[in-house]
Structure 1
Amino acid sequence: MTKNLVIVESPAKAKTIKKYLGKDFEVLASYGHVRDLVPKDGAVDVQNGFAMKYQVIDRNEKHVKAIVSALKEADELWLATDPDREGEAISWHLAELLREKNALKGKPVKRVVFYEITQREIQEAIQNPRDISEDLVNAQQARRALDYLVGFNLSPLLWRKVQPGLSAGRVQSPALRLICERELEIRAFKPQEYWSLDARAEKSAQAFTARLIELDGKKVEQFTLGDAGAAEAAKNKILAAAGGTLLVKAIEKKQRRRNPGAPFTTSTLQQEANRKLGFTSKRTMQTAQQLYEGVDIAGETVGLITYMRTDSVTLSQDAIKDIRNVIQLQYGAGALPSEPRTYKAKSKNAQEAHEAVRPTSAARLPRQVAQFLKPDQAKLYELIWKRTVASQMEAAVFDTVSAELRAGSEHAFRATGSVLVEPGFLAAYDIRAQDPEDRDEGDEDDKRLPALVQGERVKLLELLPEQHFTQPPPRYTEASLVKTLEEFDIGRPSTYATIISTLQGRDYVRLEGKAFVPTDVGMIVNRFLTDHFEQYVDYEFTAHLEDDLDAVSRGEKQWKPLLAQFWNSFKPRIEEKMELSRKEVSEARVIGVDPASGKPVSARLGRFGPFVQIGTKDDEDKPRFASLRANQRIDTITLEQALALFQLPRRIGQLPNGDEVEVNIGRFGPYVKHGKSFVSLKKDDDPYTIELPRAIELIEQKAAALEAATLKVFDGTGIRIIKGRFGAYITDGSRRANVPRNRDVDGVTVFECEAWLAEAAAAAPKKGGKKGKAAARKAAAPAAGKAEKAAAKKPAAKKATVKKTAAKRAVAKKAPAKKAATKKKG
């Protein structure tokens, strides 16, 4: 009988821990969370003390069964999930679920935590178990409930007022606001011209440059030289005053020390991995997870780094001792400070009991383990190793020189240079390497000056005027967005990867190069939220809410009163904004006038994406519509570009059977039409440039897919039974009906198919609102005959039955004529 059952999140972690615990322990993975809120309204019962309704996550049900089975053979249950709120919640949910299933049967449940997967840490954790922390669990439940309340109430409002399929999140929305506000700053920015003037001088065949700092006895500011004329006038004035030489008026020499940065937190790791390696936050965290859980090093599974979700910059005493030994061996005693360096976290909510992200053993040099790692793993491990080791090394020392060079009495230049004297911590980064990406943030090349002597003159080779323009603030990259989110205290570093992925997945933002650009949808969603829910996308409000959640995790606040306070102000705002019209949310931008019709041309966001429109709903003729192309935006599209969109439909040729092929954009996106059939274009197909060969390819692909999915064909009728995603269905090309679940497809007859298609068509909502429905009922009356009149006197439920029966009879009259044609296959 197995004495101990240990549960962790992942199979990789389970494999590593099993090796350290031995034969008395069985280690299984839960594969993350085992249950979550039911995905429907009411999962957080606001009328009943915010009771949470959970259900087992479908994909993990089999893993729960394996745990229940293994628990029968165990004496004790050990919960060894990650040492944070999510890890605590996973343990709590699993324990609660096992109790509900009566699987524990009084067996002790012990919680253990460790920050690195090494034998020493794991065995020490086993010696010091604790209970599940209710405070951490409540903080996670409160966070989950808040996210649910926002998502399940605000997202449907966006569906109704802006566009279906949108979402709003408690933390993602302020992040979107940051990106959109930066975009508005960029659009409003007016560049301003200015010029700089550099002197290129020489001494002893060594050339160097100096920047103009004084002109006509006055300090040179950014806009002192505002245009080419001013720059040229200054150049001529200085050349005349200099007479071919510059006087070395003053020299200032000093030493500058530069200290290393702190070890990595989750946030700074994501920033540096993006800046140096080009990794997204998601890629960084996935790779770090692999290094933490363990990789195979020469046949031994080893956890290479400590837990990667942390806001602490602290290093343990054992780690510092290990790092200092490595520094002395690799870089010499001169690179080692007399005392270990200590760092203080900038985040006010940093958990100092945790450690920074560091190697589990600094003695594992990157070059030694690289052969055992995947490329991403090797790059990230080296980044973490260098930052950690450098953090405990001596400062780098530079000799800096600043020289003032004068042209006459009223004009001056300044030349600066620096020389690296003692590399200190920069030795860990191999600062003299040729690859600039191998250097730490802020590293700089040596910029040397010749040996200048005060009072001497140096040769003036030339003056170099250069035009500049002021630049708008840069768009956010992943690195700068993560840094700003942390500065504003929005969310937590462990959630940044998810926030960014959600913004991209919802098509609120797109990456252009490394920079985030908001889409039309993103801008409109942000405007809607800031106009109508400003408090809930306010940076300070979001930060305060994070503080409150941290207070819950420390046991300083109760979680349900926190939820009540939020809900009591949030719910009335939702109800109030339900009265908004779609026009109030997404106003049209007038672009110009169509020269052919004289009607206004406008652009706006509709239910199926951004579009342009010629005319208005008040015109005698209906307006014409055209969807914007992927690279076009509502706020920047020109009249010429808008009018070009109305060239659709495009006729692009004929099929061998003579059917005309044309391309158009419909309600559900761009498509190819051939004869009476339609094929949707793929995401990368452009309806304005697609040609006949690609259209034929799409047509053939659809035909092949249809043939592969066809279960049965009724020759001569156009009716076939198709294997669908949610079960078999019948179609004749225009109508569609499901095959009843209790019917075997092989036994289905053409008569049944006709009846089911007729029923489905009769039950389908008709176009045209109330008038359309009334007309449809009137048209159906002759077919129903007496049955329809009889139904008028019966209850509603019976009316529906009679109506279906009438439809079946109407179909049955036509069926015998087709019987011969379908007998063979039917």
Structure 2
Amino acid sequence: MHVVIVESPAKAKTINKYLGPDYHVLASYGHVRDLPAKDGSVLPDEDFSMSWEVDAKAQKRLSDIAKAVKDADRLILATDPDREGEAISWHVLQVLRDKKALKSQPVERVVFNAITKSSVLAAMANPRQIDAPLVDAYLARRALDYLVGFTLSPVLWRKLPGARSAGRVQSVALRLVCDRELEIETFVTQEYWSILVSLATPKGEVFEARLASIDGRKIGRLDVKTAEEARAIAEVLGAARLSVTSVESKPTRRNPYPPFTTSTLQQEASRKLGLPPARTMQIAQRLYEGVDIGGETAGIITYMRTDGVDVAPEAVAAIRAEIDKRHGPRYVPQAPRKYVTKAKNAQEAHEAIRPTDVSRHPADLARILDPEQAKLYELIWKRTVASQMESAEIERTTVDILADAGERRAELRATGSVVRFDGFLTLYQEGSDDEEDEEARRLPAMASGDPLTRKDVNTSQHFTEPPPRYTEATLIKKMEELGIGRPSTYSATLSVLRDREYVRLDRKRLVPEDKGRLVIAFLSSFFERYVEYDFTASLEEQLDRISAGELDWREVLRLFWKDFSHAVDEIKDLRVSQVLDALNDALGPHIFPPREDGTDPRACPSCGNGRLSLKVGKFGSFIGCSNYPECRYTRQITKPGEGEGTAESDGPKVLGTDPATGLEVSLRSGRFGVYVQLGEGEKPKRSSLPRGWEASTLDLEKALALLSLPREVGVHPETGAPITAGIGRYGPFIQHNGTYANLPSADEVFTVGINRAVALLAEKQEKGGRGRPGTAPGRTVGDHPTLGGAMVVRDGRYGPYVSLGKINATLPRGTDPATLTVEQAAALIDAKAEKSPAKPTRGKSTASKTAAADGEAPAKTAKPKAASKSSGGKASAAKPAGAKSASAKSASAKSAGAKKAPAKAKAGAAGGEAG
């Protein structure tokens, strides 16, 4: 019997069918061990020795694997064909050796780029040994991520209370978002005018031309700055004689795009399908692991974590045959196309993402796949086929026109294109761009010397706009261009930034939160080198050279740690006031924006002679007056008008007067968020804004409705007891005699009638429900495709989640519970089942078990002591519970190579990056 080890049970099930009864395929369920999130997991003073800890859930799986291997003739490690897959195989082998499960059995490593019978059998026939340089590159990356995260994060917590963590790649990605926001804030809008002339040829065909020059002066896009200047030019054009001076036509060719890599697939799926990168990778994983086609499970795309753009010769031949069959020989180029990646740190070992069998047309699989899978497969199929099609042939025409007004002369220019042969464009076009719009403009036939008739002269006012905020797709593209991080972990990095509340998604754009901007300002001020784009990219290049066997991984770590540990030691002795002074300067345009009256933006608006500065307190950072405690003016960091509501210390925003009581109704912001308040006094009536309600749109009517809760819906027809509706700790609900039933939205609290209320309560009683709201029966999504059993979406205390038996998986932020699909629910359940975090030790604080995208330290959960109140930014930093003295920490850093995390966490499932 031959034992084969793969990562996932779905992959194991499919491969077991291919190999037959002589093979026993087992799944490791991803990584089986990791660096413990505690002091000493990586020891720089011991040549970067690393201590590994087996995951609690993996213990049983490894025992099963060890038991099977003891009686096996051969062990075959068949994990994914990348750096991460190599690392999993290495970890499994090390554990089996530690368990003494291996005797004289041969150990082989096989890799396949597609889960098809032919690919798997070909791999089994060509085994190799574990690739030591690939493992070394994984070890170097994992150690780097650990050392940065667990050394830098405690410094961040001490100097900047309220911050969560810092990571090697995560911090640089955050800097990109924050730098773009600063560009937007400091952007100076310019007015400019465009001049467009509508003309007609002698045959009466109409077209448009733009101003190119006036009196010999070339006119660029921004050169006409005022309405007066535009009007004067329009008068010249209105009185001029117009004639064609030249017509130039140039044939050009547009070549197809290369097939997808991980990052380009994420970008294009976001643009065309509206899929977030993380969701794109989930769907691609399913397509790779296999779907049931005619009773046989097969992978329908190749491995989806790759930065290579090459395609296997046999696949290219099949693609060319498919093009000939569907489009004809004119669309097949004479020679196959060969692509080379342009990414700075790309590895060419893997194929691009492509269909495993190009003859499987998307229309044929649409009946088998769910809608999202079908759309993503179609995108991959079209891009792959188009990449081997003939170029499009386009004729670009430029017409120059003279406008002669006697003493003044101007030149106009008209451009257009004609697609002479569509080539690959018949199948695939990437996104939308101006070039394609230009191709749609076809100019009429003209010749030099032809007179033209003026139809109209249009002048239009415009204003320059700042660069747009990044979307997840455009940020991934930028990171790839700079050579930062690995494509396989980009989506995980973005998830960490959102989970840490460093950024938020607003209309699919990434907006930095104040917390994130403070972290980047701190790192840029005191650890500038380690958030530089070039430095991070060069480190990635060194990691790639390690994987190629060109560099020693420990030597790379030695050089990095020498400078990094020295930089940390220097910062430890800084006073918090020094840190805040640096942040005041770095964040000046954001936290102290220019005032309309031109006065000093840092002058205190309350006392007049104090100076505003950043402060740190129990609940994070804020803006305060230097004359504290005489002046108690404070405000949130967000500029007035940008946040949700107004800071309580800024004074409440008065919404109006309650007609029943005559008391003022105001909108305020406290430590737990935005709320409305009725009147003043010792215990005024208050109500928090429910989820989904925006402070910016709240009016008096809505505020009074909130303050009127709980509302009596009516009397129950059977019991005679009242039914009330309200918004509580767990969301909107109705209540009758201690039985609670959830309402789907806060708005329904004010409109629910007696009939619907009675029906909801009856349904809840049938399910055996009493007690607190938040335990509604939920919506059944469907049965789990592999584990079986119904998956149910519920609204819980901490938000919506999906459950299967005892497995509860929280829905990602922004996911709509009402539209959750079986595929999405199953993916969440599977991910939760694989993680299965161990229970925390009683009495000790625990950090999040969520893996950091680049090995960061876990978020601090031990409650800090409140910072002392101060003036002029001289606040003392909050000290983490259980923190060592500065001298003790210094010694620890030198001996152990890392700061002690305040709690135990799994900090690297996504830290070692694929490929």
TM tier relative to shorter chain: 0.7 to 0.9
Q: Which moved more, 1:268-277 or 1:90-99?
A: 268-277
CA distance in 2, matches of 1:34, 1:398: 55
CA distance in 1, matches of 2:235, 2:865: 82
Tell me the alpha carbon deviations over residues 114-163 of structure 1, each in whole angstroms, 9 at most, x when there is no partner: 11111111101101111112211111011001000000011111111113
Residue in 1 aligned with 2:415?
A: 416
Tell me the alpha carbon deviations over residues 224-248 of structure 1, each in whole angstroms, 9 at most, x when there is no partner: 3221000001101111123xxx312
Q: Which amino acid aligns with 2:45?
A: Q
- Cα–Cα, structure 1 residues 57 and 406, in superposed 2: closer, same or farther, change >3 Å? same
**Contact kept? 2:613, 2:625, Cα under 8 Å:** no
**Contact kept? 1:162, 1:607, Cα under 8 Å:** no
Asked whether 1:698 is paired with 2:696, we answer no
- Cα–Cα, structure 1 residues 43 and 207, in superposed 2: closer, same or farther, change >3 Å? same
**Contact kept? 1:665, 1:687, Cα under 8 Å:** no
| Pairwise CA distance, 1:72 | 4.5
Asked whether 1:256 is paired with 2:266, we answer no
CA distance in 1, matches of 2:730, 2:22: 60
- Cα–Cα, structure 1 residues 572 and 119, in superposed 2: closer, same or farther, change >3 Å? same
Q: Which amino acid aligns with 2:301?
A: I
| Pairwise CA distance, 1:83 | 0.7
| Pairwise CA distance, 1:650 | 12
Q: Which amino acid aligns with 1:692?
A: L
| Pairwise CA distance, 1:611 | 6.2
Residue in 2 aligned with 1:272?
A: 268
CA distance in 2, matches of 1:605, 1:252: 65
**Contact kept? 2:110, 2:128, Cα under 8 Å:** yes
**Contact kept? 2:189, 2:465, Cα under 8 Å:** yes
| Pairwise CA distance, 1:595 | 6.6
Which of 565, 575, 578 is the matching residue for 2:569?
575
CA distance in 2, matches of 1:305, 1:110: 25
- Cα–Cα, structure 1 residues 47 and 219, in superposed 2: closer, same or farther, change >3 Å? closer
When the two structures are aligned, how many residues end up with a matched partner? 697
Q: Which amino acid aligns with 2:447?
A: V
Q: Which moved more, 1:34-43 or 1:611-620?
A: 611-620
CA distance in 2, matches of 1:181, 1:766: 32
| Pairwise CA distance, 1:602 | 4.3
Residue in 2 aligned with 1:355?
A: 351
Tell me the alpha carbon deviations over residues 457-482 of structure 1, each in whole angstroms, 9 at most, x when there is no partner: 23211001111222323322223222
Tell me the alpha carbon deviations over residues 632-673 of structure 1, each in whole angstroms, 9 at most, x when there is no partner: 7248769x95577433999999xxxxxxx9998665666899
Residue in 2 aligned with 1:813?
A: none
Q: Secondary structure at the match of 1:403?
A: strand
Tell me the alpha carbon deviations over residues 745-777 of structure 1, each in whole angstroms, 9 at most, x when there is no partner: xxxxxxxxxxxxxxxxxxx999999xxxxxxxx
CA distance in 2, matches of 1:58, 1:560: 29
| Pairwise CA distance, 1:164 | 3.6
Q: Which amino acid aligns with 2:629?
A: D
| Pairwise CA distance, 1:335 | 0.4
Any residues of structure 2 matched to 1:654-669 within 5 Å, and which? none
CA distance in 2, matches of 1:337, 1:440: 25
Q: Secondary structure at the match of 2:30?
A: coil
The alignment yields a C-alpha RMSD, in angstroms, of 3.8
Residue in 1 aligned with 2:90?
A: 92
Asked whether 1:473 is paired with 2:503, we answer no
Residue in 2 aligned with 1:365?
A: 361
CA distance in 2, matches of 1:23, 1:615: 76
- Cα–Cα, structure 1 residues 342 and 698, in superposed 2: closer, same or farther, change >3 Å? same
Q: Which amino acid aligns with 1:345?
A: T
CA distance in 2, matches of 1:540, 1:334: 45
Asked whether 1:541 is paired with 2:535, we answer yes
CA distance in 2, matches of 1:473, 1:72: 61
**Contact kept? 1:194, 1:467, Cα under 8 Å:** yes
**Contact kept? 2:187, 2:466, Cα under 8 Å:** yes
- Cα–Cα, structure 1 residues 667 and 209, in superposed 2: closer, same or farther, change >3 Å? closer
Q: Which moved more, 1:674-683 or 1:224-233?
A: 674-683
Q: Which amino acid aligns with 2:727?
A: E
Any residues of structure 2 matched to 1:498-577 within 5 Å, and which? 498-577=492-571
CA distance in 2, matches of 1:513, 1:302: 37
CA distance in 2, matches of 1:71, 1:693: 68
Residue in 2 aligned with 1:31?
A: 29
- Cα–Cα, structure 1 residues 707 and 669, in superposed 2: closer, same or farther, change >3 Å? farther
**Contact kept? 1:594, 1:643, Cα under 8 Å:** no
Asked whether 1:646 is paired with 2:651, we answer yes
| Pairwise CA distance, 1:295 | 1.6
Q: Secondary structure at the match of 2:168?
A: coil
Asked whether 1:619 is paired with 2:629, we answer yes
Q: Which amino acid aligns with 1:528?
A: F
Structure number with higher helix proportion = 1
**Contact kept? 1:600, 1:614, Cα under 8 Å:** no
Q: Which amino acid aligns with 1:6?
A: V
- Cα–Cα, structure 1 residues 66 and 519, in superposed 2: closer, same or farther, change >3 Å? same
TM-score for both structures, normalised by structure 2:
0.70
Q: Secondary structure at the match of 1:412?
A: strand
**Contact kept? 1:681, 1:698, Cα under 8 Å:** no
Q: Which amino acid aligns with 2:360?
A: R
Tell me the alpha carbon deviations over residues 460-518 of structure 1, each in whole angstroms, 9 at most, x when there is no partner: 11001111222323322223222221222111211211221112221222223233222
CA distance in 1, matches of 2:226, 2:619: 45
Residue in 2 aligned with 1:745?
A: none
Unaligned runs of 5+ in 1: 654-660, 711-722, 725-739, 742-763, 770-826
Asked whether 1:58 is paired with 2:56, we answer yes
Residue in 1 aligned with 2:857?
A: none
CA distance in 2, matches of 1:404, 1:765: 71
Q: Which amino acid aligns with 2:263?
A: S
CA distance in 2, matches of 1:707, 1:672: 30
- Cα–Cα, structure 1 residues 401 and 677, in superposed 2: closer, same or farther, change >3 Å? closer
Q: Which amino acid aligns with 1:176?
A: L
TM-score for both structures, normalised by structure 1:
0.77
CA distance in 2, matches of 1:499, 1:135: 25
**Contact kept? 1:179, 1:476, Cα under 8 Å:** yes
**Contact kept? 2:646, 2:653, Cα under 8 Å:** no
Tell me the alpha carbon deviations over residues 248-290 of structure 1, each in whole angstroms, 9 at most, x when there is no partner: 2221122111111112222222222222222222122222211
Asked whether 1:108 is paired with 2:93, we answer no
CA distance in 2, matches of 1:107, 1:483: 46
**Contact kept? 1:599, 1:614, Cα under 8 Å:** no
Unaligned runs of 5+ in 2: 585-590, 593-600, 659-664, 711-725, 741-768, 774-796, 799-840, 843-862, 869-915
CA distance in 1, matches of 2:10, 2:63: 19
Residue in 1 aligned with 2:43?
A: 45
**Contact kept? 1:311, 1:345, Cα under 8 Å:** yes
Q: Which moved more, 1:609-618 or 1:554-563?
A: 609-618
CA distance in 2, matches of 1:531, 1:766: 25
**Contact kept? 2:618, 2:866, Cα under 8 Å:** no
Any residues of structure 2 matched to 1:401-480 within 5 Å, and which? 401-408=397-404, 410-429=409-428, 443-444=436-437, 445-480=439-474
CA distance in 1, matches of 2:569, 2:689: 39
Q: Secondary structure at the match of 1:171?
A: helix
**Contact kept? 1:396, 1:422, Cα under 8 Å:** yes
Any residues of structure 2 matched to 1:323-402 within 5 Å, and which? 323-402=319-398
Residue in 2 aligned with 1:815?
A: none
**Contact kept? 1:193, 1:470, Cα under 8 Å:** yes
Q: Which amino acid aligns with 2:638?
A: R
**Contact kept? 1:594, 1:601, Cα under 8 Å:** yes
CA distance in 2, matches of 1:215, 1:651: 58
Q: Secondary structure at the match of 1:466?
A: strand
Q: Which amino acid aligns with 1:498?
A: A
